[in-house]
Structure 1
Amino acid sequence: MNFVQQLLLYISITAFAFLVIGLYKPWAMLWWEDVQNRRKVIKLYGGIASTSYIVYWLMFFIIK
């Protein structure tokens, strides 16, 4: 279980870094989309970052 917790933490940190990069240059993080804007960056990477961080903390409190 410790591996899954670390993986979720790394995913949330990486998604947050991608969110920051995407807020500066949306094209760099949404190159496959037809229209790249900051709202899409926030939806995609913000959702991934917050969801994985919440699941990380839920697993932290359930296991301990």
Structure 2
Amino acid sequence: MRAAPIRKGLFALGRRSMMSERFKEELAKELGFWDVVQKEGWGGIKASDAGNMVKRAIQIAEEQLANRS
């Protein structure tokens, strides 16, 4: 199955979505925990930060879909 771009860096894969590293970096910077990622890697972030990152990615995807209408 070929991924359909929703937003630069965010791809829909059926029921799942996959974020590019660049998009994840943008979200981490926006949400304020990029410094942790740089020091400790993605495994060093808090579960709440990971959840907030997913919530923000979903919000962006929904906004993009709404703008297509």
Q: TM-score range by the shorter chain?
A: 0.3 to 0.5
Higher relative contact order (CA 8 A, sep 6+): 1
- Please identify which structure carries the higher helix content: 1
TM-score normalized by the length of structure 2: 0.41
TM-score w.r.t. length of structure 1: 0.44
| Greater fraction of residues in strand | 2
Rg: which structure is higher?
1
